[in-house]
A and B are shown apart, each in its own frame.
Chain A
Amino acid sequence: MQLVSTIVLDGLIDASWIFIVAVGLTLIFGVLNVLNIAHGNFYAIGAYVAASAAGWYYAGGDSFPALGLIIMLGSTLVVAVVLGPLLERGLLRFFYERDEVVLVLVTYALFLVLEDATKLIWGVNPYYAYEPYVLFGNVSFFGLSYVGYDLMLIVVAVLVGVLLWLALNRTTSGKLVLAVIHDRDMSSALGINVTRIFVVAFTIGVFLAAAGGAVTAPKISVQPGLAVTVVLLSFAVVVIGGLGSIGGAAVASLIVGIARSLAIHTAPWAELFIVYMVMALMLAIRPQGLFGTEGLRKI
């Protein structure tokens, strides 16, 4: 019984940060129709910026430790507002008329560039931002002691999901975004500013990835190689859940999180490939993903 609750809770914790990152990827895909290989880099940059910001803040004495966490999140907002419009307007928009495979290649090139840019800026030594990790103390759960910060992550992920859903389904701007997802040309003909929606959606996607990096930064050592792992995890989530589906991303994050924690606790050798196994199985059985819709083929 204890093993089950451990697996579920660990899985939930894992799922929560994966969801925050992957939902950004699915949003970008839904709106811009771009499968963003550089998404993991936004996560890594978010983690680095947040860790640097935390280092700067806590070096001056931590009179108010919670402020550090807020500064970390705030710094990733700056990252998104700078990088999002810059990359969408400065790079991606030149390729919208080309095949979607070309856009995959463009983001792959961007991945290569950002991977080295991160190394040039922050070097190859790890960064730590462990101070916020003790903020919420420890919580006892089914006789097991959990770090409060990890449980907070679950709450944050749920909040992100709900807010995003409400913003898309219950606000006017959100409905405009849905219209663009549904039919870009028709929306444009009806007078919706598609360009603006592209920029905003891409920026929010970048922010979600960077914020995912910021909230996980206290749990990990921030070092090169993060982007490569994270982009594959979020790829898996997005493919399993269905490209462009937020609900799908939520369910798929849970599947991936729990599958990973199941592997870690029962068959550690399978940890690396269980995710790809699920992803390959899903693609083989239902290529459009759990919640995806099958597109019509052009004749």
Chain B
Amino acid sequence: MLDWRSTAHLCMALVALLAAGLVLPGWANFLLVIALSKGLAALGLVVLLRSGLLSFGQGLFYCAGGYGAGLLMLWGGISDAALLVGGGGLFALLIGVATGPLVAGYRKIFFATLTLALSMLVHGALTKADFLGGTDGLNLRAPTFFGWRAGSAGENVYALYAFASILAVALAGLCRAHFGSVRGLLSLGVRDNEIRIEYLGTSVRRVVFENFVIAAFLAGIGGAINALALSHIDPELAFWTTSGEFVFVAILAGQASVVAVFAASVLLEVVRSWSSQYFPNAWQLTLGVFMLAVILFLPNGVGALLRRRSRPSVEADAK
């Protein structure tokens, strides 16, 4: 469980986020919504990385969340943001449960390539599925929030931003609690030596499966928020370069802190919109060099910097 200190931190973070949204211009709120949605997908990757697994197919669940929410709106006639995002997350979770047993037996690059293949399979299928809009995807309407409909585009963005902030903070808190729990700490053991964990009486497959499903759910929620923010879904969400972006954020953040994941995601979005405005053909180059620098000089990510200054990390305690 979360201690009172972490809970207080989370509440403070939420208040700060909500207040910041009121001050910031609309475009910044929009950018933050996208960053939070991608941060959730990257947080899922961090859950997997803690058990030593790198997924190159997280886009599959991001896409599943987006399409789940989108189809609920278009076919199901639902317009409430909470139901749509919950539905999207649930849909991604179900796909995670269905594919989890298959991928749970794989490690290292086999895990990375299998998740990659699965997401590309879905991407390929979606581009040819005309009833789902094919390559162009589908356009969505603006959602309502518990019966309230925003009067202007600005209001809509802020409402979505506030909604995304609450979700992100709540899920980050849950992940934080999970990381400190026995089941969460087992992941670190799986990463270090899974045969020992197996001998100690725990099913490694099950730990990996659970992490995979958690990751799928987080990405699904993120994908649904992203779909509502853009009012659009298309197969590119499942393309491997989308998954690559999540990998980037997860590596940049490291595994020491959940806050760092969102910080890294915001950083990526800011760098992206800044450099795509001024250097439209060189922003990937900037990211690549940045990523190399992080791997080389900050092997534990930016989060390690945050942790080092406060108190010893959970990982350090575990060791």
Contact = CB atoms under 8 A, between A and B. Distances in A.
Interface of A: 35, 91, 94-95, 98, 100-102, 104-106, 108-117, 119-120, 124, 228, 232, 235-236, 239, 243, 269-270, 272-273, 276-277, 279-280, 283-284, 287, 297, 299
Please give me the 8 A-B residue pairs with the lowest Cβ-Cβ distance, nearest first: A273-B124, A112-B288, A113-B288, A272-B124, A116-B285, A109-B291, A269-B128, A280-B117
B306 interface: no
Interface residues of B, number: 41
B279 to A, nearest CB: 9
B109 A94 contact: no
Interface string B272-293: 0000000001111101110110
B247 A105 contact: yes
B117 A101 contact: no
B175 interface: no
A235 B116 contact: yes
B106 interface: yes
A273 B120 contact: yes
Given A104-B112, A105-B247, 14 more contacts: A35-B113, A100-B109, A101-B112, A105-B291, A109-B292, A115-B284, A116-B283, A124-B281, A228-B240, A236-B117, A276-B117, A276-B120, A277-B121, A299-B195
B114 A283 contact: yes
B282 A106 contact: no
A92 B121 CA distance: 30
B251 A105 contact: yes
Contact of A111 (B114, B117, B123, B288): B288
19 contacts: A91-B292, A95-B295, A101-B52, A101-B108, A104-B54, A105-B247, A105-B251, A106-B292, A108-B244, A110-B292, A113-B288, A113-B292, A116-B284, A232-B240, A235-B116, A239-B117, A243-B109, A273-B120, A276-B120
B82 interface: no
Interface of B: 52, 54, 102, 106, 108-110, 112-114, 116-118, 120-121, 123-125, 127-128, 193, 195, 240-241, 244, 247-248, 251, 281-285, 287-289, 291-292, 295-296, 299
B291 A112 contact: yes
B61 to A, nearest CB: 16
Contact of B284 (A95, A104, A112, A124): A112
Contact of B121 (A35, A111, A124, A280): A280
A4 B112 CA distance: 35
A98 B121 CA distance: 31
A45 to B, nearest CB: 14
A157 B292 CA distance: 35
B114 A280 contact: yes
Contacts of B193: 299
A272 B134 CA distance: 13
A272 B110 contact: no
B241 A116 contact: no
Contacts of A283: 106, 110, 113-114, 117
B195 to A, nearest CB: 5
B297 to A, nearest CB: 11
Given A105-B247, A272-B127, A273-B124, A120 B241 contact: no
A91 B296 CA distance: 10
Given A273-B124, A279-B117, A116 B54 contact: no
A110 B291 CA distance: 9
A117 B289 CA distance: 12
Contacts of A236: 117
Nearest to A29: B109
A250 B123 CA distance: 27
Contacts of B127: 272
A282 to B, nearest CB: 9
B189 to A, nearest CB: 14
Contacts of A116: 281-285, 288
Contacts of A110: 288, 292
Nearest to A124: B281
A109 B102 CA distance: 28
A287 B128 contact: no
B285 A104 contact: no
B109 A101 contact: yes
B121 A239 contact: no
A299 B116 CA distance: 28
A109 B240 contact: no
Contacts of B284: 112-113, 115-116
A272 B121 CA distance: 8
Residue of A91, A108, A117, A297 contacting most chain B CB atoms (<10 Å): A108
B112 A284 contact: no
Contact of A35 (B109, B114, B287): B109
A287 B127 CA distance: 27
Contacts of B288: 109-116
Contacts of B118: 276, 280
A112 B106 contact: no
Contacts of A91: 292
A235 B113 contact: yes
Given A102-B295, A105-B251, A119-B281, A232 B120 contact: yes
A253 to B, nearest CB: 17
A232 B121 CA distance: 12
A35 to B, nearest CB: 5
